[in-house]
Amino acid sequence: MKTMLSAVILIIVFLFSAVSVSAATSIGAKTDINIYMGERGYSVNGQYERFDVAPYQDTTEWRSMVAARPIAEALGASVTWLDSAKELIIQYKGKTIKVVQDTPLQDGMGTPRLINDRFMIPVRYLCEQMDLTVGWAELDQSNEIIEQQ
């Protein structure tokens, strides 16, 4: 009985520590992404995926950092890395988002970093640039990203 209760509590804690991303695709269907800080596993529309580098909390700038390419591509964006300029270019719904490695973002939004050859970007910045609304739940330390209507 104790083992079952412990398992249920563990699952609940795991679910409440998620970052959720929702966006409308070009055909009107929703894309739901759940990202778990410190975990390599994430889901896209209920399908399990795996990051090469786990998302993490940057405690120096208080930002949730996530690998930009898999999240942007799951939302239907195209992603280009220019190694000579250390610049990531994301094209999404007619917008072009350019971010340079180790260059602080405007308004104190954090600083993109290259970790184990993966471009890590603050999830709030990425989603706001893609016109998604981002919320923070202090109680369970999670982000919720919602598509704008």
Q: Is the dihedral of CA 3, 39, 135, 133 positive or negative?
A: negative
Q: What is the identity of the amino acid at 78?
A: S
Who wins on pLDDT, 147 or 91?
91
Range of lowest pLDDT (27-41, 51-65, 79-93, 120-134): 27-41
The proportion of the chain whose per-residue pLDDT surpasses 70, expressed as a percent, equals: 68
The structure tokens 């609304």 sit at 133
The pLDDT value recorded for residue 61 is 87
Q: What is the pTM of this model?
A: 0.76
Q: What architecture is domain 2-147?
A: 2-Layer Sandwich (3.30)
Q: Please tell me the distance from the alpha carbon of residue 64 to that of residue 126, in angstroms, as a whole number.
A: 11
Q: Please tell me the distance from the alpha carbon of residue 87 to that of residue 80, in angstroms, as a whole number.
A: 8
The pLDDT value recorded for residue 131 is 86
Residue-range domain boundaries for the chain: 2-147
CA angle 97, 80, 44 (to 5 degrees): 80
Who wins on pLDDT, 44 or 138?
44
- Averaged pLDDT for residues 13-36: 57
Average pLDDT, rounded, for the chain: 78
Beta strand pairing call for 41-44 and 47-50: antiparallel
Q: Which of 8, 58, 23 is nearest to 37 (CA)?
A: 58
